[in-house]
A and B are shown apart, each in its own frame.
Chain A
């Protein structure tokens, strides 16, 4: 195989891609590594934020900010609330030395290798030179798709969420 970096343009986008990927991987590792629940919640927030960064690089602005708003903002805060409001030892016990760990590591490596091999050998259809719609029309396109092609599923999801909301309120009422 030729130079894997052939054809790369070192512009902001690519640098950002590598930086963000690094942050996401780092945050994901830290999430597993931390022993304090609070720190874990923060790490997962950082992962969400990094994913949003990747979406931006893919020109999916709307998705990116929805991701920040809902995952990095609301869901992380929800987790923090849950951590603060529930009583537990905030520190996990250190993991036991376990032979299974080595097996796990081997399995992970094998999985990684398999995925890499698959990706390299899949005949991808050549990507379009331009994104299918101009950046500015991103939101409008999503809206159009949602409310025309997928109107029924969208409405169904809305109903489901409303039911969940009402259910939550009723449960909370009983508690009080």
Chain B
């Protein structure tokens, strides 16, 4: 799709237009993805819990999340009197911008339109997503609410702790593919096999660390309703709250994309077109996160930390060492 391949072109009005158009298309697409992810989350968990789920707005409740988003946008933007006003206003944006930015690195199909072909895509993903922690932490601090503060602190501690095993679990894949570029990784899997098989240990670490990184059940401590009311976004309302939610769900999507691309061969698959394969794999990941949420209770905060440092990290290290040794052995032999 050369129309959207503008990265190396000189900056003309035409390039600018194509840039903006591409950006808007991706933005709208992602908003749609998030809206229907929310819808399916509510439907699926509803079914799992013997409920119906949303069924009022539109046929089968299909417009429910759109109505919810509109409601959030129309709501008053409340800033608590004792909050640190500038930080309170800016924190959701800090949290939400990187969530969109990371999507740029993820190839949806072989020709990856809209996608930057970044040589260090995985590092890019990890780096940018760490900025979100800043937004969450600042939001918790600026609210001047003790629940928010505790939520923000927990969140920062948790996400930093789990970023390390997450990154380490990716190293095995990187070693096997010999590249940080997701496109190269997918291509490597097409030549060899899906990395879920040789990197099963890495995948296990990845899926656990990813769940924790997403703050989803059973690692949803930062917003543990039963303890911290709503954690870092207790004081947020209206579209600033929507920003946090949007960021959260975009990361669910992004991590699912990452998982599908790194361990399940990305867009590769027989018969069906590549984008559909990718969509199926990503949906499976997303479904898995919903499923977890309907099943699991919440882990305790100290257990969470212990688990990261004493279980996941050593496992990830073992995985790296094993992968390197085997790779060296195979190459030598």
Contacts and interface: CB of A to CB of B under 8 A. Distances in A.
A and B in contact, CB less than 8 Å: yes
A49 B101 CA distance: 14
Contact of B160 (A45, A61, A74): A74
Given A10-B11, A80-B141, A81-B156, A136 B133 contact: no
B138 to A, nearest CB: 7
A17 to B, nearest CB: 12
A137 to B, nearest CB: 8
Interface of B (DSSP majority class):
helix
Interface residues of A, number: 28
Interface residues of B, number: 28
A80 B118 CA distance: 30
A135 interface: yes
A66 B9 CA distance: 27
A61 B137 contact: no
Nearest to B125: A65
Contact of B128 (A45, A68, A76): A68
Interface string B228-239: 000000000000
B123 A69 contact: yes
A138 interface: yes
Contact of B134 (A12, A15, A45, A139): A45
A4 B141 CA distance: 47
Contacts of B181: 136
Contacts of B9: 11
Interface in A1-21: 9-12, 15
A65 B134 contact: no
B134 A135 contact: no
20 contacts: A10-B11, A11-B11, A38-B138, A42-B87, A61-B118, A61-B119, A65-B120, A65-B123, A65-B124, A66-B127, A68-B131, A69-B126, A73-B130, A73-B133, A74-B160, A77-B133, A77-B134, A80-B137, A138-B119, A139-B180
Interface of A: 9-12, 15, 38-39, 42, 45, 49, 61-62, 65-66, 68-69, 72-74, 76-77, 80-81, 84, 135-136, 138-139
Interface of B: 9-11, 15, 84, 86-87, 118-120, 123-124, 126-128, 130-131, 133-134, 137-138, 141, 149, 153, 156, 160, 180-181
Given A12-B11, A72-B131, A76-B134, 7 more contacts: A61-B118, A61-B119, A61-B124, A62-B120, A72-B127, A77-B160, A80-B156
